[in-house]
Amino acid sequence: MSVKPVIALVGRPNVGKSTLFNRLTASRDAIVADYAGLTRDRHYGNGRVGRREYIVIDTGGFEPDAGEGSIYREMAKQTRQAVAESDVVIFVVDARAGLSAQDHEIAQYLRRLGKPCVLVANKAEGMTQGLQLVEFFELGLGEVLPVSGAHGQGVRSMLEQALEAIPGLPPEDEEEPEVDTQVIRLAVAGRPNVGKSTLINAWLGEERLVAFDMPGTTRDAITVPFERQGQKYELVDTAGIRKKGKVFEAIEKFSVVKTLQAIENAHVVLLLLDATQGVTDQDAHIAGYILESGRAVVLAINKWDAVDAYQREQIERQVENRLSFLKFASLHLISAARRQGLGPVWKSIAQAHASAMRKMPTPQLTRLLQEAVAFQAPQRSGMFRPKMRYAHQGGMNPPVIVIHGNSLEHVPDVYKRFLEGRFRKAFDLVGTPLRIEFKTSANPYKDD
């Protein structure tokens, strides 16, 4: 499974980076408003053009010489981190406001880095090509691409040019290399300092860990071969593995991109939470990305020994409320430092992987579908009553069930959840998302 290329959107405040981000990710995930400096943190999203998938990082306005204590100083720091994590930078300027001193400073910074860069003049809708954009050539970054994030003009060309600028990126039609299906890739994900490295140390033992230690970069996940009870694993530590007596700065820093890529390339993700901190927004964002990626998942609350009964009750309630979309996942209460509660985690990892790779025969799926409809048929929607005829498996990791019939576009979400519950119970699917797709048959009499 190839690693997704990473694109960073960089520019001074209020040039329309968040609007472009939403266009590139086909979402409304980044806040958009006509107010300078609204996006203070790095914001991540998935996108696709053709068969090529990528990760986009939206950043706050970049002011390289922001003073001490200024919020813009922190935003500049976030932007530098985003640039470090990226494969290519899209430098966004404002076609209507024209060239500014800040644009010159940012261009100088990007030229010094030598990273692939595409210069984009946003808000160029309705402008005649050429003359108004000539001044941006002063930045010394080559061609200026006129785009409109608000209207979508020129965005695809911009994206294709950015991807072409990444050295060594394989063609999108290149076949994926074969992988060993007997090895389970397990990613340990979570916020900084929740105990990811401590947990992996507890599993491996310090001597074994040092033997596999290697420096990493923001693009690399640190992978450690491991075998337990005859099952081979590849453990992926998104925190970076420490070597005794030496710390590699690049892998010490928390990299969101590294976490996202590790999740994408895993079979199972162990999402580690911190009992002393509760369930934070960052935990919920990582959990949402795991679900979006379709990965099997196991939840573990670390440092359980460090909290009292009241705190335990609070975090259990937070998991139930804030991570309710992962209610199919097993939950474990552990102490990595004391090596308590770790055995049952492995059983859940194996169960989640088996569920994600479960084969579901068409006759059995169709029979279960018919039994579900006989028990409770979907409601009529106006003139239409959905009719479900048969079901088959459309994929694994995550399992996909494709249901065929008529007027299935009118099936409500509540009925979809009803079907999911019955399929999960019948096939003992624990720890994996389950996707149900509806395919409506064409009406042969439609054009008569």
The pLDDT assigned to 378 comes to 86
Three-state DSSP class for 344?
Answer: helix
Spatial CA neighbour of 7 closest among 45, 51, 50: 45
Structure tokens at 402: 């494709």
**pLDDT number for residue 206:** 47
Report pLDDT for 171: 65
Per-residue pLDDT at 224: 77
419-442 core/surface letters (b: 16 or more CB in 10 A; e: else): bbeebbeebebbbbbbebebebee
Q: What is residue 404's predicted lDDT score, i.e. its pLDDT?
A: 92
Tell me what pLDDT residue 218 has.
32
Q: In sequence order, what are the residues at sequence separation of 6 or more whose Cβ sits closer than 8 angstroms to the Cβ of residue 158?
A: 90, 118, 120, 145, 147
Query: What are the residue ranges of helices labelled H in 205-308?
Result: 206-211, 249-252, 256-264, 281-293
- Largest separation between any pair of C-alpha atoms in the chain: 79
Report the C-alpha gap between 59 and 80 in whole angstroms.
9
Which pLDDT value is given to residue 143? Answer: 86
Q: How many CB atoms lie within 10 A of CB 51?
A: 8
pLDDT per residue, tens digit, the chain (448 aa), is 457 888 999 888 888 888 888 888 876 554 444 334 434 456 777 888 877 888 888 877 666 555 544 455 666 777 777 788 889 999 998 888 888 888 898 888 888 888 899 999 888 887 655 567 788 888 888 888 888 888 888 888 899 889 988 887 766 655 554 445 578 999 998 887 788 878 888 887 743 433 333 333 333 456 778 888 888 888 876 654 333 333 333 333 446 677 787 888 889 999 999 999 989 888 888 898 899 889 999 999 999 999 899 999 999 999 999 999 999 999 999 999 898 999 899 999 999 999 999 999 999 999 999 999 999 988 877 677 888 899 999 989 899 999 999 888 888 889 999 999 999 999 999 999 999 999 887 554 444 3
Six token digits for residue 318: 């937070």
Please tell me the total number of residues recorded for the chain in this structure: 448
Instruction: Please tell me the predicted confidence (pLDDT) of residue 75.
Output: 61
Residues 6+ apart with CB under 8 A from 358: 396, 399, 427, 429
User: CA–CA separation, 135 vs 138, rounded Å?
Assistant: 6
Q: Which are the contacts of 27, defined by CB distance < 8 A and separation ≥ 6?
A: 45
Give 160-210 as a DSSP string: HHHHHTSTTPPPTTPPPPP--TTEEEEEEE-STTSSHHHHHHHHH-HHHHH
Grouping H, G, I as helix, E, B as strand and the rest as coil, residue 39 is coil
Query: Nearest to residue 149, comparing CAs of 288, 55, 11, 6?
Result: 11
Instruction: Return the pLDDT at 182.
Output: 79
Q: What pLDDT score was predicted for residue 275?
A: 92
Q: What is the CA radius of gyration of the chain?
A: 25
What was the pLDDT predicted at 250? 35
Q: What pLDDT score was predicted for residue 362?
A: 93
List the structure tokens of 141: 């970054």
